[in-house]
């Protein structure tokens, strides 16, 4: 799986200005639960349409971006957490053991 690194507030603004779907996976490199969820997400990633950008947000390095996400879309910060963004809206989000690529893809096709 090829992750795009979400590392600036400008990247986040670009995502929210897009008319297409974008996936953001918020990951803590210090958390074993987050590491397991990331591995499972990567294992299932072939379900995601090829042209869908999938960003990885390292929460240890870029907590300010996570804070901005929480503020922008009124979503409580959690880790691990997956968000599906379409335009300026977060149309789906889930955290911890509830993260499944199939659920993300279902939201994209419904």
Q: pLDDT tens for residues 39-85?
A: 999 999 999 999 999 999 999 999 999 999 999 999 999 999 999 99
For the stretch 18-48, what's the b/e string if a residue is b when 16 or more beta carbons lie within 10 angstroms of its beta carbon?
eeebbbbbbbbeeeeebeebbeebeebbeeb
Q: What is the pLDDT of residue 110?
A: 82
Instruction: Give the pair of three-digit tokens for residue 49.
Output: 């349409």
How far apart are the C-alpha atoms of 22 and 13, rounded to whole Å?
12
The model's pLDDT over 70-79, given as tens digits with 9 standing for 90+, comes to 999 999 999 9
Going by C-beta distance under 8 Å and a sequence separation of 6 or more, which residues neighbour residue 16?
A: 72, 85, 87, 88
Structural domains in the chain plus CATH codes: 4-109 (3.40.30.10)
User: Within 13 Å of residue 98, how many CA atoms lie on the same side as its CB?
Assistant: 9
Mean pLDDT of 2-6: 96
Q: What is the pLDDT of residue 1?
A: 82
Instruction: Give the pair of three-digit tokens for residue 29.
Output: 């490199």
Tell me the three state secondary structure of residue 75.
Answer: coil
Percent of the chain with pLDDT over 90: 95
């Amino acid at each position: 799986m090829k992750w795009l690194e979400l590392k600036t507030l400008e990247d986040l603004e670009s995502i929210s200005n897009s008319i297409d779907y974008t996936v953001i996976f918020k990951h803590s490199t210090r958390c074993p639960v987050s590491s397991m969820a990331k591995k499972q997400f990567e294992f299932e990633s072939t379900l995601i349409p090829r042209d869908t950008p999938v960003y990885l947000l390292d929460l240890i390095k870029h907590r300010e971006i996570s804070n901005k996400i929480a503020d922008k879309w009124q979503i409580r910060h959690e880790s691990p957490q997956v968000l599906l963004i379409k335009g300026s809206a977060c149309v789906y989000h889930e955290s911890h053991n509830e993260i499944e690529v199939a659920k993300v893809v279902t939201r994209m096709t419904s």
